[in-house]
Structure 1
């Protein structure tokens, strides 16, 4: 059985996903959702995304993609391409592998991804990292859950799951 490559991303209406290697919003719901959909599954991220998190995420096999052949960090597996990272993740016998960023890996992985867990953040923000619009000819929405802004969530947002059609 082949492994499903899924993307997990929070995206503003203008496509922004990050600014200066941080998230451009405070959304407690999204952090909880991220944990829920990734827990127990291998996660693949770029080195800059890993640096922004600052540590391996517990309860998940952490795979960091970097061009630097000498880069190492305790608690993570290192890969030097997305393909190598997916191969490492497949060895975990997982049914689903989660690509969690950043922008460069999303661009590389989108063509191979079978599922996208998209948090639609209902605002436009300044950003220097972006995620493209999904071509709805290639994707079908399978679920949507809407949440208002509140004291822990800066903007209204929807959790949307897309499957490749």
Structure 2
């Protein structure tokens, strides 16, 4: 089994989004997301998928939905009806990513090896939240601060966690 990484941009209060949209615009975080996920399978919930204008290029989308009639006409999209079905599709991959939303992150946390979290410094009103990162299960191994600038209205920190061996 390869490594499974959760990747997310998360506010200080664990806010992820509201009304199926992001709460901030961070071009450098988008670039990092693209750089890390390109060429890999990405697992997401239906609402996360539907928040994209079109499927993301150079990535195979595995979309989890309870709706048995849900269908997407695109060669880089596969529909499944459970997280276990999604994980079965990536078991032979070296690396794959879970990209949201809140419910999928909560379900996937026990199965993931790495967390790539962009911590957005601020508290936001939201309807989707990231699960708490339990320090007894996760070790922070890298941190890189990015201050506000002309393209970023808020400062943020890239944080990489690896699952502790229990």
Structure 2: distance between partners of 1:162 and 1:46: 23
The Cα shift of 1:133 comes to: 2.2
Give the equivalent residue in structure 1 for 2:118: 119
Give the equivalent residue in structure 2 for 1:77: 78
Structure 2: distance between partners of 1:137 and 1:159: 20
Structure 1: distance between partners of 2:120 and 2:132: 13
RMSD between superposed Cα atoms in Å? 1.0
- Matches of residues 37-76 of structure 1 in structure 2 within 5 Å? 37-75=36-74, 76=77
The Cα shift of 1:89 comes to: 2.4
Give the equivalent residue in structure 1 for 2:129: 130
Give the equivalent residue in structure 2 for 1:158: 157
User: Aligned to 1:111, what secondary structure does the other structure show?
Assistant: helix
The Cα shift of 1:143 comes to: 1.0
Q: How many residues of Structure 1 are paired with residues of Structure 2 in the alignment?
A: 162
Give the equivalent residue in structure 2 for 1:146: 145
- Matches of residues 80-99 of structure 1 in structure 2 within 5 Å? 80-90=81-91, 93-99=92-98
Specify every segment of 5 or more residues in structure 2 that has no aligned partner in the other structure, as ranges. Answer: none
| 1:86–1:97 contact (8 Å) kept in structure 2 | no
Specify every segment of 5 or more residues in structure 1 that has no aligned partner in the other structure, as ranges. Answer: none
The Cα shift of 1:142 comes to: 1.4
| 2:11–2:120 contact (8 Å) kept in structure 1 | yes
Structure 2: distance between partners of 1:48 and 1:35: 19
**TM value normalised by structure 1:** 0.95
| 2:102–2:131 contact (8 Å) kept in structure 1 | no
The Cα shift of 1:29 comes to: 1.0
Q: Which runs of 4+ in 1 moved over 6 A?
A: none
User: Aligned to 1:40, what secondary structure does the other structure show?
Assistant: coil
| 1:38–1:60 contact (8 Å) kept in structure 2 | yes
